[in-house]
Amino acid sequence: MSAAVKDTARRLRQSMAWIHTWLGLLAGWILFAMFLTGTASYFRPEITRWMQPEVRFPPVSASQAAGAAVAHLQPAYLGDEQWYIYLPDDRTGATRVFTRPRPDPDPKAPPAARRPELTLDPAKGTPVSARETRGGEHFYRFHFQLQLPHPWGRWLAGLCAMFMLSAIISGVITHKRIFADFFTLRWSKGQRSWLDAHNVSAVLALPFHAMITYTGLITLVLMYMPWPIMANFKVPETFAAQAYGRGPEDQPVGRSAALAPIEPIVDAAMREWQGARPATVIIRHPGDGAATVTIARGADQLNARAAQITYSGTTGSKLAASPPQGAAVTTAGVMLGLHMARFAGPALRWCAFLLGLTGAAMIGTGLMLWTAKRRRTGQPQFFGGQLVERLNIGAVACLPAGMAAFFLANRLIPSGLPGRADIEVSAMFWVWFGLAGFSLLRPVQKAWVETLAVSAMTFATVPVANALLTNRGFLASLRSGDWLFVSFDLAMLVIAAALAFAAKHAHAKRGELPRRRSGALSTLVSGEAADAI
C-alpha cells in the first residue's frame, strides 16, 4: 500500500470514529429502548396470551374457526361493510374480529364510532370475556412509535434507525482488526472490558444488526421515502394497486343474497397453497349480492407480503388472486418478513430473541464505553459526562423495571376495572421514569446497583404474582403441559437472574478505581482512537 492510500485510510477511520461516537451517543438511549421492546415483540401473540389468562382454547382447524366466527356474525352484523377475521393459529389463542358498519350515505352524518374488537371462542364462535389489555401489542407499538403522538414517534424512530445504520457502517470502517479481535473478551479491566464487550456484541451479530436496522427502515419506507412513487406515478394509488394488488374498493349492489358457506372456501384456498394455513378472512358486504371473501395466507414464508385469493361471497367461486410479485417487490417483502420473523418456528424465534438482546447489549456497552473513556480517576466529572451517566442508568437499568411492571400491573389490576389497559401502560412509564428519577438522588455507583436490583426484583415478582393471582402458576402449568406459561415464568426468572448478576457486578466494582490505559484523556484525535472506539 502506498503512503497516500494509507493516509486516506487513516483519515477515513478517524472521521468515522468521531461520527460513530456521536451518532451512537445521541440515539443510544432511544435505540436501547427500541431494541429491548422490539425484541420482546418477537413474542407479541405469546405475551398477549399470557396477559389474558382467561383465554384458553384447544386448537381447531382454520375452516372450523372461520365457520364458527361467521355463524356468530351472521345474524347481528349482516349488512356491514366489512368483517376482518383473524383466524387463530398455534401462536394466538382465539379468533379476533373487527367489524365495520356500512358508512351512512348522508355525507353530513357523523362518522360511525369504531366498534370494539371481538374476541371469539375458536370452536364455538361465542364471544369471550377476558381482561382488557394491550398485551404484546404495546411493546410492538412502542418500539416504533415511542408513545409519542402520530406521526412524530415514527419519525423519531426512523431518525434513530438512520443513526443506527450510519453507526453500523462507520463502526465497521473504524474497527480495523475485526477478525483479530473476534474472540477477545476480557473482564474487569474497566474501559478495556467495555470496549471488548462492545466489539464482541457488535461484530459477532453484525449480520443481524445490519439486517434488523435496514429492514426496520423498510417497514415504514412508504412514510419515510415516498418520493420514488411520485417520480413514477401521477396517482400514488396506482402504485399500491400494482405493487400489492390492492384494487379499488368494490361497491354493494343493494340486492340481498345469502352468504355462501365459508368452510369450503377456506378449504379451497388451503388446497391452492398446498395445505398452508390461512391467517385472515376478509368478508366485504356480507349479505349483499356483491359480497366477496378474501383469504390471506399465513406467514409461513420469508416474504411477509402474503398471497391472497378472493372468492365470490354468494357462490364461493374464485374471482381473483394476488398477482405474482416482481424481484423488487419480493425483495422488499422478504426484508419485511425478516424484520418481523413471523415465519420463524420456535427455535429460530428464540434465536432471533437472543440476537435482539445482543443488539441491546451492543448499544448498552457502547453507551457505557462513552462514559468509561471520559472518566478521570478521583476527579469530579464534567457536566456532560454526568448527564450521560445518568441517562445510561435511566435507559439501561430502569427500562427493564418498567417492562416488568407492565406484566405485574396486568396481574394486580382487577380484571373488570374500566380503562385497565391504559393503566397497565401507565404503570410501565411511571415505574420506568419514576425509578430513573429516584436514581438521580443517589450517587452514581449506588444508583447503578440499586436500579439494577429493583429491575431484577420486579422481574422475579412476576411469576409470584402470576402464581398467586391466577390458576396458571408455574407448577400448575408444568402439570398441565402448558409450555407457554412455563416458558414465560422461566424467562422472567432468567432475566431477573441476569439483572441481579449485573447488580452484583456493579456492586463489586464500587470503590475500585476505574482502570485506564496510560495516556491523555483526549485520545480521540490520536491514531490509537481510530481502532479503539
Partner 1 sequence: MPFEAGLYAYAGLACLATSMGRHRPRPGRVPLPHPQYARAIGATLLALAVLTAVRRLGPEQGIVAGVAQICLAAGLLVLLMSWRQRTALALALPAVALATLLAASA
Partner 2 sequence: MVQIITGRGGRGGWRITARCLTALFGGYGAAAALASLVARLLPVVPVEATVWGMTFSFAFYAALGLWAFHEPRLHRVAITLWGGAALLAGIVYLLGPRA
498 part of the interface to partner 2, by CB under 8 A: no
The site map against partner 1 for 350-369 (x = CB under 8 A) is: -xx-xx--x-----------
Interacting residue with partner 1 among 37, 41, 119, 201 (CB under 8 A): 201
Q: Residue 352: which of partner 2, partner 1, none does it interact with, CB under 5 to 8 A by kind?
A: partner 1
Specify the stretch interacting with partner 1 by CB under 8 A; choose among 204-212, 251-259, 306-314, 394-402: 204-212
Q: Residue 418: which of partner 1, partner 2, none does it interact with, CB under 5 to 8 A by kind?
A: none
Which residues lie below 8 Å from residue 265, measured CB to CB, with a gap of 6+?
Answer: 293, 295, 311, 316
Site residues for partner 2, 510-529, by CB under 8 A, read 524-525
Q: Based on CB atoms, which residue is closest to partner 1, 89 or 121?
A: 89
Q: Residue 205: which of partner 2, partner 1, none does it interact with, CB under 5 to 8 A by kind?
A: partner 1
Site residues for partner 2, 242-281, by CB under 8 A, read 242-243
328 part of the interface to partner 2, by CB under 8 A: yes
Cell 407479541 sits on residue? 44
Q: What distance in Å separates the CA atoms of residue 448 and residue 397, rounded to the nearest whole number?
A: 7
Q: Based on CB atoms, which residue is closest to partner 1, 475 or 497?
A: 497
Interacting residue with partner 1 among 112, 348, 513, 521 (CB under 8 A): 348
Q: Give alpha helix (H) positions in 135-177.
A: 136-145, 152-174
Interacting residue with partner 1 among 200, 431, 453, 533 (CB under 8 A): 200
* Residues 285 and 81: beta-carbon distance below 8 Å: yes
Cα separations (Å) of 164 from 42, 184, 322, 389, 403?
Answer: 20, 24, 35, 20, 23
Specify the stretch interacting with partner 2 by CB under 8 A; choose among 249-257, 324-332, 374-382, 468-476: 324-332
Interacting residue with partner 2 among 78, 123, 162, 206 (CB under 8 A): 162
Site residues for partner 1, 9-28, by CB under 8 A, read none
Specify the stretch interacting with partner 2 by CB under 8 A; choose among 91-99, 164-172, 186-194, 285-293: 164-172
Partners of residue 295 on adjacent β-strands:
281, 309
Q: How many residues does the chain have?
A: 533
Specify the stretch interacting with partner 2 by CB under 8 A; choose among 326-334, 400-408, 428-436, 490-498: 326-334
Q: Residue 61: which of partner 1, partner 2, none does it interact with, CB under 5 to 8 A by kind?
A: none
Q: What distance in Å separates the CA atoms of residue 328 and residue 331, rounded to the nearest whole number?
A: 5
Smallest distance, Å, CB 183 to partner 1? 5
Smallest distance, Å, CB 472 to partner 1? 25
Q: Residue 533: which of partner 1, partner 2, none does it interact with, CB under 5 to 8 A by kind?
A: none
Cα separations (Å) of 257 from 80, 99, 250, 283, 313?
Answer: 13, 19, 16, 14, 9
Half-sphere exposure of residue 71, counting CA atoms within 13 Å on the CB side? Answer: 14
148 part of the interface to partner 1, by CB under 8 A: no
Cell 366485504 sits on residue? 284
Site residues for partner 1, 299-338, by CB under 8 A, read 301-302, 338
Partners of residue 309 on adjacent β-strands:
295, 321
Q: Which of 294, 298, 343 lies closest to 322 in space, CA to CA?
A: 294
End-to-end CA distance of the chain: 24
Smallest distance, Å, CB 527 to partner 1? 21
Site size with partner 2, rule: CB under 8 A: 40
Parallel, antiparallel, or unpaired: how do β-strands 308-312 and 318-321 relate? antiparallel
Cell digits of residue 262: 365459508
Q: Residue 169: which of partner 1, partner 2, none does it interact with, CB under 5 to 8 A by kind?
A: partner 2
- As separate numbers, helices (DSSP H) first and strands (DSSP E) second, the chain gives 20, 7
Specify the stretch interacting with partner 2 by CB under 8 A; choose among 14-22, 89-97, 201-209, 343-351: 14-22
Number of CB atoms found within 10 A of residue 413's CB: 18
Site size with partner 1, rule: CB under 8 A: 28
Write out the DSSP string of 359-423: HHHHHHHHHHHHHHHHPPTTSPPPHHHHHHHHHHIIIIITHHHHHHHHHHHHHHS-TT-TTHHHH
Q: Residue 294: which H helix or E strand, with range?
A: strand 292-297
Site residues for partner 1, 205-224, by CB under 8 A, read 205-208
Site residues for partner 2, 218-247, by CB under 8 A, read 218, 221-222, 224-225, 227-234, 238-239, 242-243
62 part of the interface to partner 1, by CB under 8 A: no
Per-residue H/E/C for 254-287: CCECCCCCHHHHHHHHHHHCCCCCEEEEEEECCC
Q: Which of 337, 59, 371, 117 lies closest to 215 in space, CA to CA?
A: 337
Q: Residue 4: which of partner 2, partner 1, none does it interact with, CB under 5 to 8 A by kind?
A: none
Cell 402470576 sits on residue? 466
Specify the stretch interacting with partner 2 by CB under 8 A; choose among 192-200, 258-266, 325-333, 358-366: 325-333
Query: Which parts of this chain interact with partner 1 (CB under 8 A)?
Result: 180, 182-187, 200-201, 204-208, 301-302, 338, 343-348, 351-352, 354-355, 358
Query: Which parts of this chain interact with partner 2 (CB under 8 A)?
Result: 11-12, 14-16, 18-19, 162, 165-166, 169-170, 214, 217-218, 221-222, 224-225, 227-234, 238-239, 242-243, 326-329, 331-332, 335, 524-525
